Amino acid sequence: MSRVPDVKEILNLTPGMLSVLLLSVSAGSLLGLPVAGRIAHRFGAVKTVRFGLCLAAPGIVLAALAVQLEVGRYAVIPGLFLLGLGMGVWDVAQNLEGTVIERALDKAIMPWFHAAFSGGTVLAALIGAGLVGLGVPLLVHLGVVAVWSAVAVWWGTGRFQSTSAAKSDEADAIAAPAVAQRSAWSEPRTLLIGVMVLAAAFTEGTANDWIAVAFVEGHEVDKALGVLALAVFLTFMTAGRVLGAGLLDRYGRVPVLRGLFSAAIVGCLLVVFGNTWLAFIGCAIWGVGASLGFPVGMSAAADDPERAAMRLSVVATIGYTAFLAGPPLLGFLGDHVGILHALLAVGVVSVLAILIVPVAKRAQP
């Protein structure tokens, strides 16, 4: 994302055309997410993550090459689509592996993995900003990212635990073939967990995309302070994921999630109706409130290891829809009521999440 302004400048893109290019990544992900569960169920998390890498790494290089050679804006789309497709497959499989480790340790550690993801995005953005400042060509930057990612993923997946876990589950799958074949899309609990994750993704994604703009346009602060507001949100969200795992073990999923979605509502209200300083406090509370809904939803979907892969695929597909549809919907609402007041949609969605949080209660396989 740190090179998006460069892409826009090199290809002379309008905001609308840039949105089309970014949409191609989302389209690839939404195609990869639904099929990833069956791939992971059949071949295991290791092979599935590596398969996702084999799609994503060439995709980002192809997209960078098309931009660097200035062969045309539409030539970038296939590479970005491959990137999104690989990321979708990869995402479900690595969450599956996270649930395997979580069950083996019998403690809530999925938020830690998602905290690492959040930290990685911040670190990557900082490195990207530095490389932009040094004038490093886009193809060199993203080519190194692809190679480094390939090495890291191949090394990391060699230590995955889910291959042996999948083998131990084969006997159970043979004993209950009808259960294994039933579509996870037909399970009410799985769908409701997906809706809860969608609400969590909307709560997080809205802040990522619009908090800085809302501070600049709504609170009339400098752009640097708008970026600082986003940094506050991301910092407290990451801290919530690191520290929240202990709360989950001590109090359980349902009360913790109720408290955090309530905090997201309070934080949202402070951002919208408070003065500038209260709005910054609201960003912190909102960040904590947005921290655990997504990772806990992944854990809840995988309570039954035999059905984990398919259910994770469904929940991830529903949840990531918020990242695709949320930003334009907020923008459209912002055109009518102003972007600051449009953020109140987060409060409405969080109320819905509070009502269905009981579906996250640990289910017995």
DSSP string across 303-357: SSTTTHHHHHHHHHHHHHHHHHHHHHHHHHHHHHH-HHHHTHHHHHHHHHHHHHG
What pLDDT does residue 162 have?
A: 52
294 within some domain: yes
Q: Are 85 and 59 in contact (CB under 8 A)?
A: yes
- What residues contact 208, with CB distance under 8 A and at least 6 apart? 230, 233, 234
**Do 115 and 78 have their domain in common?**
yes
**Do 128 and 219 have their domain in common?**
no
**Do 174 and 226 have their domain in common?**
no
What pLDDT does residue 264 have?
A: 96
Give the residue-averaged pLDDT of 31-51. Answer: 88
What pLDDT does residue 176 have?
A: 41
**Do 338 and 191 have their domain in common?**
yes
What span, in angstroms and rounded, lies between the C-alpha atoms of 95 and 118? 14
Residue-wise pLDDT for 289-331, tens only, equals 999 999 999 999 988 888 888 898 899 889 888 877 777 677 7
Closest CA to 221 of 263, 162, 267, 283: 283
Q: Among 181, 202, 227, give the residue marking a domain's end.
A: 181
Range of the domain at 299: 182-358
**What CATH number corresponds to the domain at position 216?**
1.20.1250.20
Q: Among 158, 181, 204, give the residue marking a domain's end.
A: 181
Q: Give me the chain's average pLDDT, please.
A: 85
233 within some domain: yes
Residue-wise pLDDT for 174-214, tens only, equals 334 444 457 888 899 999 999 999 999 999 888 887 888 88
Q: Which residue has the higher pLDDT, 310 or 259?
A: 259
**Do 84 and 156 have their domain in common?**
yes
Q: Are 204 and 237 in contact (CB under 8 A)?
A: yes
Give the residue-averaged pLDDT of 355-361. Answer: 94
Give the confidence band of 48 by pLDDT, cuts at 50, 70, 90.
very high
152 within some domain: yes
Give the residue-averaged pLDDT of 243-259. Answer: 93
192 within some domain: yes
DSSP, res 73: G
**Do 11 and 136 have their domain in common?**
yes
Q: Which residue has the higher pLDDT, 123 or 164?
A: 123
How many structural domains are present in the chain? 2
- pLDDT at 172 exceeding the cut of 60: no
Q: How far is CA 275 from the centre of its chain?
A: 30
pTM (2 d.p.): 0.79
What span, in angstroms and rounded, lies between the C-alpha atoms of 250 and 36? 33
